[in-house]
Copies of this chain bind each other. A is one copy, B any other.
Amino acid sequence: MDDVRMIEIKEDIMADNNQVAAGVRDRLCGQKTMLLNLMSSPGSGKTSLILKTIEALKNNLKIGVIEADIESKVDAEKVASQGIAAVQLRTGGLCHLDATMVTQGLDALAAQDFDLLILENVGNLVCPAEFDTGAHKNVMILSVPEGDDKPIKYPLMFSICDVLLVNKIDYLPLSDFDAAALRKRVLALNPKIKIMEISCKTGEGIRDWISWLTREIAAFRRG
């Protein structure tokens, strides 16, 4: 493989994507719609968090969801069953969402009066971190069973996020997960990140997450 060629192509793709992402961000600012990009490993609880968020906010805010999945549409169906506008982007094997795919999702949603759009990225702690989706806020989930050493191994994801949600804290009694060690590792990479511990299963910590999100949406609307 020709490394130089590979690098040039990657730079082209990234430059194109950054331009499209800036366009997405501007378009949604104009509509007063905050876009939140939710990322994690497979099975960390992205869909569960989205369902909890909808439950808490759907009476006060107009919410839409753009789901990415390599093959299936089960997540979009779960969201739609809550009476929420949802589109499913099937990435057809691609390991991340880019801003062009997000544009397609926005066009498919059609309406322009959303307060909050949530993007459920592909379950992957690597590639999605490299591509700006045009989101105003990047949020990641790490679940307790994944272990407290993940910031050492996947530093970029922890570096680019505004919020880290530590999910499945109901597993803590069976686990040797060290929350203090995790916090130290994450803050060394990203001193500004907000870390919250939650359980989508028991509901613990969800109130803090909803408070943070509500405040951010209000600040975003004030511009």
Contacts and interface: CB of A to CB of B under 8 A. Distances in A.
Interface of A: 1, 9, 13, 16-17, 41-44, 69-72, 74, 93, 95, 98, 100, 122-127, 130, 143-147, 149-150, 152-156, 168, 170-171, 174
B125 A127 contact: no
Given A9-B9, A95-B127, A43 B122 contact: no
Contacts of A43: 41, 143, 145-147, 150
Given A122-B126, A126-B122, A145-B43, A155 B95 contact: no
A42 B146 CA distance: 6
A95 B72 contact: no
Given A42-B146, A72-B152, 11 more contacts: A1-B17, A41-B41, A41-B43, A42-B154, A71-B152, A71-B153, A74-B153, A123-B153, A124-B125, A171-B171, A174-B174
Nearest to A73: B152
A173 B168 CA distance: 14
A146 B45 CA distance: 8
Report copies per complex: 2
Given A41-B41, A145-B43, A70 B171 contact: no
Contact of A42 (B74, B98, B150, B155): B150
A120 to B, nearest CB: 11
A16 B1 CA distance: 7
A129 to B, nearest CB: 9
Contacts of A153: 42, 69-72, 74, 123
Nearest to A99: B1
A170 B147 CA distance: 15
B174 A126 contact: no
A171 to B, nearest CB: 6
